[in-house]
Amino acid sequence: MFAEKILIGVWTSFCLWRLALKMKILLFSLLDSRVLHIFVKRMSLSMPSFEMGAMDAEAYPEPASEILKILWVVGTSRNHGQGSLWAKARATAFIALTHYEVVHIFRSIPDFRDVNLEFLFSETDPEVLRAVEGFESRIINHEYMNRRRYVNEQRVSKSNVEKLLDVFPQVVFPTGSKSRVRELPGAALFCLSFAPLDMINRGMLKDLEEVNAKFENALLEIASSLQLSRNILVALITLQSWKSFMQRWMKVQLMLLDAKAHSTVLDRTSKAANNILKIVRRISDECIPSSAENFALAIGALCSSVHTVKSSASKFLLDWLFQYENECRQWSAAISLGLVSSCLHVTDCKQKYENIKALLEVLSISKNTLVKELVELDCFSCQDLLTRVDSECNPQLEKEHKRQK
């Protein structure tokens, strides 16, 4: 009891921390777990204004650092055989640690992240783990807040790579040079730039209409120049490239609609996607057969970026899929149709059923090896579309689906 009174007297005054530091050897060598538990509990709970010195840690960093080390050693030490009483002392130490700012803990305990992770994985006492839960939550919250701040600060200054990516498209594809687009159609899909970024950011109606018209012309130039050579791998890579092109075009379309009339984001997105789809369909009807491959891929890329046009795009691609006399349209439509089907909403059971039914029909009729391979691939990717949410589907469609099986 005499030792307990001495310790409580020392800790009640923050000015006597240095004396407490000299007694830390006594704390672990002479005191039993009962005295230690009472001491830690009284200081952390009965005297909340001190909170084990947490409130004054900024003003007295050196004593606070030593106390943090004592609490950490007590909380993580398992070399005592006093059972539940020692576990209570350890749990109380972690409760006291929770009152400290995390930055002080990092500063006071060497290699804290490593030793903390090792302790967390190896601790088995339920009472200690309950106390550790609040302590670890505080650590995680601190890490999250500081990481987010660090990322935001990093975005302010551009790296040399980012600056190069901004300049590179303008160097490779100077304004008004159509020949470069025909020479490098694949690169044009990734980084073709029609106007300086400040022109687009100004949002002037005339400028946006001009940029939109250039996208339309580029669509025709790229589609007529980019040869897929009936190669499935090249077609899949090209499909991913078209996504980048369509996303940039969508951005201009959204700005153009916003400059004309203000509306909700959903309405603008749907209208912009439908405008692009109409342009692609109009140009594809007038193009040569070899260009049709790229138009089908462009439609699939548009649907993967904007899901609001997937139903109308599916109907258009289904029409191409049944054109057995036109291989270019058929095999590219098969690729895009598989992508569009995977983008359908869980409640679009009717459209899913129509797509799968069409794929099975083409698979059974077509004599073209390339088309059959792609349709088989689509069927494999669509095999569970109708079984994901059976409760949402029409019962009649469910019966037809089972009959097809």
Task: Kindly state the average pLDDT of the residues 200-225.
Answer: 75
Say if CB 307 and CB 326 are below 8 A apart. Answer: no
Q: At what angle do helices 327-343 and 369-381 cross, to 10 degrees?
A: 0
Task: Kindly state the average pLDDT of the residues 196-204.
Answer: 53
Task: Kindly state the average pLDDT of the residues 75-88.
Answer: 72
Mean pLDDT comparison of 58-62, 305-309, 316-320, highest-scoring range: 316-320
175 secondary structure, DSSP code = T
Task: Kindly state the average pLDDT of the residues 113-132.
Answer: 87
Say if CB 200 and CB 252 are below 8 A apart. Answer: yes
Comparing 51-60, 117-126, 276-285, 289-298, the range with the smallest average pLDDT is 51-60
CA atoms of 24 and 28, how far apart (whole Å): 7
Helix (H) or strand (E) holding 250: helix 232-260
The gap from C-alpha 206 to its chain's centroid, in whole angstroms, comes to: 36
CA atoms of 287 and 305, how far apart (whole Å): 24
CA atoms of 316 and 305, how far apart (whole Å): 17
Check residue 200 and give its pLDDT.
52
Q: How many CB atoms lie within 10 A of CB 53?
A: 24
Per-residue model confidence as pLDDT tens digits over 356-373: 888 888 888 888 888 887
CB proximity list for 368: less than 8 A, separation 6 or greater: 324, 327, 330, 331
Check residue 12 and give its pLDDT.
41
Check residue 14 and give its pLDDT.
43
Say if CB 335 and CB 374 are below 8 A apart. Answer: yes
Per-residue model confidence as pLDDT tens digits over 371-396: 887 777 766 666 555 555 444 445 55
Average pLDDT, the chain: 72
What are the residue boundaries of the structural domains of the chain, listed by start?
Answer: 2-156, 177-404
CA atoms of 350 and 147, how far apart (whole Å): 45
Provide, rounded to the nearest whole percent, the portion of the chain with pLDDT above 70: 64
Q: Is the dihedral of CA 47, 52, 55, 61 positive or negative?
A: positive
The gap from C-alpha 328 to its chain's centroid, in whole angstroms, comes to: 36
Task: Kindly state the average pLDDT of the residues 97-120.
Answer: 86
For residue 43, what pLDDT band results from cuts at 50, 70 and 90? very low
Comparing 33-47, 102-116, 138-152, the range with the smallest average pLDDT is 33-47
Helix (H) or strand (E) holding 10: helix 2-11
CA atoms of 157 and 154, how far apart (whole Å): 6
Check residue 376 and give its pLDDT.
73
Task: Kindly state the average pLDDT of the residues 227-240.
Answer: 85
CA atoms of 290 and 331, how far apart (whole Å): 12
Task: Kindly state the average pLDDT of the residues 304-317.
Answer: 81
Check residue 54 and give its pLDDT.
58
Q: What is the pTM of this model?
A: 0.54
CA atoms of 66 and 45, how far apart (whole Å): 20
CA atoms of 302 and 312, how far apart (whole Å): 12
Check residue 85 and give its pLDDT.
74
Can you give 50-102 as a three-state secondary structure string? Answer: CHHHHHHCCCCHHHHHHHHHHHHHHHHCCCCCCCHHHHHHHHHHHHHHHCCCH
CA atoms of 185 and 188, how far apart (whole Å): 5
Check residue 105 and give its pLDDT.
86
Helix (H) or strand (E) holding 352: helix 349-365
Q: Assess whether pLDDT exceeds 60 at residue 209.
A: yes
Q: Mapping DSSP to helix (H, G, I), strand (E, B) and coil, where does residue 177 land? A: coil
Check residue 112 and give its pLDDT.
87
C-alpha angle with apex 321: 317 to 322, nearest 5 degrees? 125
How long a stretch of residues is the chain?
Answer: 405
C-alpha angle with apex 44: 41 to 48, nearest 5 degrees? 135
Structure tokens at 99: 């009152």
CB proximity list for 392: less than 8 A, separation 6 or greater: 346, 347, 349
